[in-house]
Structure 1
Amino acid sequence: MAVDGLGVVLVHGFRSGPETWQHVRDRIGEDDELKFVTTLPFSYATGLTRYHPLKTWTSISAAADSLREFLRTEAGGFPRVVLVSHSMGGLIVQRHLARMLSDGNGQELARIGRVVMLACPNDGSQLFLSLRQGIFGRRHPQESELRPLNEQVGETRRRVLHDVVHAARVTDRTCPIPFSVYAGDSDGVVPMASAQSVFRDTAALPGDHFGILRAVGAEHRTFTTLRRLLRETAAAPDPPGTAETSEVCGGLPAGAVGSRPAPGAPQPPVTVGNAISGGRQHAPVIQGHTVNVTFRSEPSTGTSGAESRDAGHRPPAGPAASPPVQGAAGLPVRSATFTGREDDVRALLDDLAPRTGTDAGATGTPRVPVLVQAVAGMGGVGKTELALQTAERALARPGWFPGGVLFADLNGYDPTPERRTSAEAVLDTFLRALGTPPEEIPADAPARSALLRTVLADRAAHGRRTLLVIDNAGSEEQVRPLLPGDDATGVLVTSRHSLDIGARLHTLDTLEPHASVDLIRQQLHHARTGDTRVDDDPDAAARIADLCGHLPLALHVIAALLADTPQRPLTSMADALADGHTRLQLLTRADRAVQAAFDLSYANLTPDQARLFRLLPLNPGPDLSTETAAHLLDADQAAAEVLLTDLARAHLVEPGVWPRWRMHDLLRLHADHHGRTQADEDHRDTAHTRLLDHYLATAEAADTHLSPLPQTPRSPAFTDRRRALEWLDAEHANLTAAATTAPHNHPAHTDITSALYQYFDLRRRFDDIITLANQTRTAHRETGNRQGEAAAWSYLGLALREVRRFDDAITAHQQDLDICRETGDRHGEGSAWGNLGLALREVGGFDDAITACTHARDMHRETGDRHGEGSAWGNLGLALREVGGFDDAITACTHARDIFRETGDRHGEGMAWGNLGLALREVGRFDEAITALQQDLDICRETGDRHGEGRAWNNLGLALREVGRFDDAITAHTHTRDIYRETGDRHGEGRAWGNLGLVLGEVGRFDDAITVLTRALDIFRETGDRHGEGRAWNNLGLALWEVGRFDDAITAHRQDLDICRETGDRHGEGMAWNNLGLALGEVGRFDDAITAHRQDLDICRETGDRHGEGRAWNNLGLALRKVGRFDDAIDACIRARDIFRETGDQHSEGIARANLEEVRGCATGG
Structure 2
Amino acid sequence: MGEQLRFKVLGPLAVTAGEAGVPLGGARQRAILALLLVTPGRVVPVDTMVDTVWNSNPPPTSRTQVAICVAALRKIFKSAGATDDVIVTSHPGYVLNTESHRFDSLDFTDLVQTAEQCAKEGRLPEAAQNYAQALDLWRGPAFSGVSGQLIEDEAARLEEHRLNAYDDSTLVHLELGQHQELIPELAAMVREHPLRERIRHHLMLAQYRSGRRADAMETYRDARTQFIDELGIEPGPDLNELHDAILRDDPSLAPVAPAVERRPAQPGQAAQAPAPALAVPSELPPDVPAFTGRTEELAALESLVSAEAEDRGSTIGLITGAAGIGKSGLAMRWAFRAVEHFPDGQLFADLRGYDEHHEPVSAHDVLSRFLRSLGVPGEQVPTDLEERVSLYRSLLTDRRVLIVLDNARTYAQVRPLLPGGGQCCVLVTSRDQMEELVTWPSQARVHLGLLSEPEAVELLTAIVGERRIATVRADAARLVELCDRLPLALRIAAARLASKPHWTVRYLVTRLSDERRRLDELSQGESQVRASLALSYRYLPEEAARLFRRLGLLDVPDFTAWVGAALLNKEALDAERLIEDLVDAQFLEVVSIDPTGQLRYRFHGLVRLYARERARQEESEPDRLAASTRFLRTFLTIAEEADRRENAGSGTGVHSGVQRRRIDSGLLDELLAVPLEWYEAERLALVASVRQAARMGEAELAWDLTVCASIFFGTRNYSEDCRRCCEDALEAARTAGDLRGQGAMRYLLGSLELGHSRLENGIAHFMEALRLYEEAQEDHGKAMVMRSIGTSERMRGELDSAMERFAEALPIFRDVGDRYCEAHTLHNMAETELDRGRPESAMQFAVDAVRIAERDADSTRVLAQAVHRLGRVHLALGQLPAAEEAFLRAVRIVKEKSDMIGLAYALLGLGETRLGKGDAEAAETTLADALDIAEDCRIPLVAGQISLVLGDVSSRLGRVDAARRHLRAAQEKFAVVGASALEQRAEQALGALVG
TM-score, length of structure 1 as denominator length:
0.53
Equivalent residue for 1:684?
624
User: Which of 339, 352, 355 is the aligned partner of 2:308?
Assistant: 355
Cα displacement string for residues 752-785 of structure 1 (whole angstroms, at most 9, x for unaligned residues): 3344434444444443433443444455555555
Q: Name the residue aligned to 2:409.
A: 474
The answer to whether structure 1 residue 495 and structure 2 residue 437 are counterparts is no
Q: Distance in 1 between matches of 2:785 and 2:322?
A: 54
CA offsets per residue over residues 224-262 of structure 1, 9 Å max, x none? xxxxxxxxxxxxxxxxxxxxxxxxxxxxxxxxxxxxxxx
Question: Match for residue 751 of structure 2?
Answer: 798
2:356 & 2:942 partners in 1: Cα distance?
57
Contact 2:511 2:518 in 1 (8 A): yes
Alignment partners' CA distance in 2, 1:562 and 1:792 = 47
Counterpart mapping for 1:977-1126 below 5 A: 985=938, 987=940, 1034-1035=968-969, 1063=978, 1065=980, 1068-1069=983-984, 1072=987, 1075=990
Match of 1:385 in 2: 329
The one-letter code sitting in structure 2 at the alignment partner of 1:801 is L
* 1:851 Cα deviation from its structure 2 partner: 5.0
The 1:865/1:382 distance shift into structure 2, 3 A limit, reads closer
Alpha-carbon offset, residue 684 of structure 1: 3.1
The answer on 1:343 being equivalent to 2:296 is yes
SS in 1 for 2:319: strand
Q: Secondary structure at the match of 1:380?
A: coil
Name structure 1 gaps, 5 residues minimum.
Answer: 1-307, 314-323, 360-367, 460-464, 1014-1031, 1037-1052, 1079-1110, 1119-1166
Of 719, 726, 746 in structure 2, the residue corresponding to residue 773 of structure 1 is 726
Contact 1:853-1:876 at 8 Å conserved across structures:
yes
Q: Which residue of 1 aligns with 2:252?
A: none
Q: Is the aligned partner of 1:813 residue 2:766?
A: yes
Match for residue 457 of structure 1 among 366, 384, 397: 397
Distance in 1, matches of 2:313 and 2:887, equals 59
Could you tell me how far apart the structure 1 residues matched to 2:817 and 2:943 are? 40
TM alignment of 1:918-933, pairs within 5 A: 918-921=872-875, 926-933=880-887
Correspondence for 2:350 among 409, 415, 418: 409
Give the equivalent residue in structure 1 for 2:199.
none
SS in 2 for 1:582: helix
Structure 1 pair 442–493 and aligned structure 2 pair: CA distance change class (3 A): same
C-alpha deviations, 1:461-515, integer Å up to 9, x for none?
xxxx333222111222221111122274322211112224423484635336xx2
Q: Look up the SS of the partner of 1:469 in the other structure.
A: strand
Supply the distance in 1 between the matched residues of 2:778 and 2:650 (Cα, whole angstroms): 25
Pair 971,406 (structure 1): closer, same or farther in 2 beyond 3 Å = farther
Residue 669 of structure 1: CA displacement? Answer: 0.6
User: 1:375 pairs with 293, 316, 319, which one?
Assistant: 319
Partner deviation per Cα, 1:945-985 (whole Å, 9 max, x = no partner): 45433443454345446667666556545655676688x65
1:484 is paired with a residue of what secondary structure?
coil
Measured after TM superposition, the shift of residue 410 of structure 1 is 2.0
> What residue is the counterpart of 1:332 in the other structure?
286
Q: Which residue of 1 aligns with 2:361?
A: 421
3-state DSSP of counterpart to 1:458:
coil
Q: Could you list the runs of 5+ residues in structure 2 that have no partner in the other structure?
A: 1-225, 232-277, 654-659
Q: After TM superposition, give the deviation of residue 938 of structure 1 in Å.
A: 0.9
Amino acid at match of 2:722: I
Aligned partner of 2:403: which letter?
L
Verify the 8 A CA contact 1:910 1:940 in the aligned structure 2: yes
Q: Does 1:695 align with 2:635?
A: yes
Query: 1:523 is aligned with what amino acid?
Result: L
Give the direction of change, closer, same or farther, for the CA distance of 1:822–1:523 in structure 2 (3 Å limit).
Answer: closer
Q: Does 1:598 align with 2:537?
A: no
Would the aligned equivalents of 2:553 and 2:615 in 1 still touch at CA under 8 Å? no
Q: How does 1:506-525 map to 2 (within 5 A)?
A: 506=445, 508-511=447-450, 515-524=452-461
1:909 aligns with 2:863: yes
Amino acid at match of 1:643: L
Change (3 A) 1:647 1:831: closer
1:408 Cα deviation after fit:
2.5
Distance 2:493 2:949 in 1: 50
Aligned to 1:217: none
C-alpha distance in 2, partners of 1:993/1:555? 53
Equivalent runs, 1:508-587 vs 2, <5 Å: 508-511=447-450, 515-524=452-461, 527-533=464-470, 536-564=471-499, 570-587=505-522
Q: Secondary structure at the match of 2:365?
A: helix
> Does residue 644 of structure 2 align to residue 707 of structure 1?
no
Aligned to 2:829: 876
Q: Distance in 2 between matches of 1:446 and 1:981?
A: 72
**d(CA) in 1 for partners of 2:905 and 2:561?**
37
Q: CA deviation at 1:813?
A: 1.6
Q: Tell whether the 8 Å contact from 1:704 to 1:715 is kept in structure 2 after alignment.
A: no
TM-superposed CA distance for 1:625, in Å, is: 3.5
The aligned residue for residue 212 of structure 1 is none
Q: Which amino acid aligns with 1:691?
A: F
Q: 1:637-656 alignment to 2 at 5 Å? A: 637=572, 639-656=574-591
In the TM superposition, what is the alpha-carbon distance from 1:943 to its structure 2 partner? 4.2
Sort the Cα spacing of 1:995 and 1:454 in 2 relative to 1 into closer, same or farther, 3 A: farther
Name which of structure 1's ranges 720-729 and 498-507 shifts more when overlaid on structure 2: 720-729
C-alpha distance after superposition, 1:417-465 (max 9, x if no partner): 35x4332333234334444454543333332222232333312xxxxx3
Q: What is the CA deviation profile of residues 1107-1160 of structure 1, one whole-angstrom value per residue up to 9, with x for unaligned ones?
A: xxxx5xx97xx6xxxxxxxxxxxxxxxxxxxxxxxxxxxxxxxxxxxxxxxxxx
State the Cα RMSD in Å. Answer: 4.5
Q: Taking every aligned residue pair, what percent have the same amino acid on both sides?
A: 28
Report the equivalent of 2:253: none
Q: Deviations over 1:241-292 (max 9, x none)?
A: xxxxxxxxxxxxxxxxxxxxxxxxxxxxxxxxxxxxxxxxxxxxxxxxxxxx
> What is the CA–CA distance in structure 2 between the aligned matches of 1:426 and 1:999, rounded to whole Å?
85
Alignment of 1:777-788 (within 5 A): 777-781=730-734, 785-788=738-741
Correspondent of 2:692 among 723, 732, 741: 741
> How many angstroms does 1:1007 deviate by?
9.7
- Are the equivalent residues in 2 in contact too, given 1:412–1:473 (CA < 8 A)? yes
Give the SS at the match of 1:355: helix
User: Is the alpha carbon distance of 1:882 and 1:585 closer, same or farther for their aligned partners in structure 2, counting shifts above 3 Å?
Assistant: farther
How far, CA to CA, are the matches of 1:684 and 1:441 in structure 2? 56
Contact 1:382/1:552 (<8 A) preserved: yes
Q: CA deviation at 1:824?
A: 6.0
Q: Give the structure with the larger helix fraction.
A: 2
8 Å contact 2:935–2:943 — kept in the other structure?
Answer: no
- Relative to structure 1, the CA distance from residue 837 to residue 537 in structure 2 (aligned partners, 3 Å threshold; closer, same or farther) is farther
Mean alpha-carbon deviation: is it higher for 831-840 or for 997-1006?
997-1006
Q: Take 1:861 and 1:602, find their aligned partners in 2: how far apart are those partners? A: 58
Q: Structure 2 residue aligned with 1:941, among 886, 890, 895?
A: 895
Instruction: Work out whether residues 475 and 499 of structure 1, in 8 Å CA contact, stay in contact via their aligned partners in 2.
Output: yes
1:1059-1111: per-residue Cα shift (whole Å, max 9, x none)? 59x95826635754874xx6xxxxxxxxxxxxxxxxxxxxxxxxxxxxxxxx5
Q: 1:801 to 1:437 in 2, by over 3 A?
A: farther
Q: Deviations over 1:76-114 (max 9, x none)?
A: xxxxxxxxxxxxxxxxxxxxxxxxxxxxxxxxxxxxxxx
Contact in 2 for aligned 1:970/1:996 (Cα 8 Å): no
* Aligned amino acid, residue 468 of structure 1: I
Identify if the C-alpha distance between structure 1 residues 564 and 991 changes in structure 2 by more than 3 Å, giving closer, same or farther: farther
Distance 1:370 1:788, change over 3 A: farther
Q: Give secondary structure in 2 for the equivalent of 1:485.
A: coil
Distance 2:944 2:979 in 1: 21
Q: Write the mapping of 1:304-343 to structure 2, written as runs, cut at 5 A.
A: 326-328=280-282, 330-339=284-293, 341-343=294-296
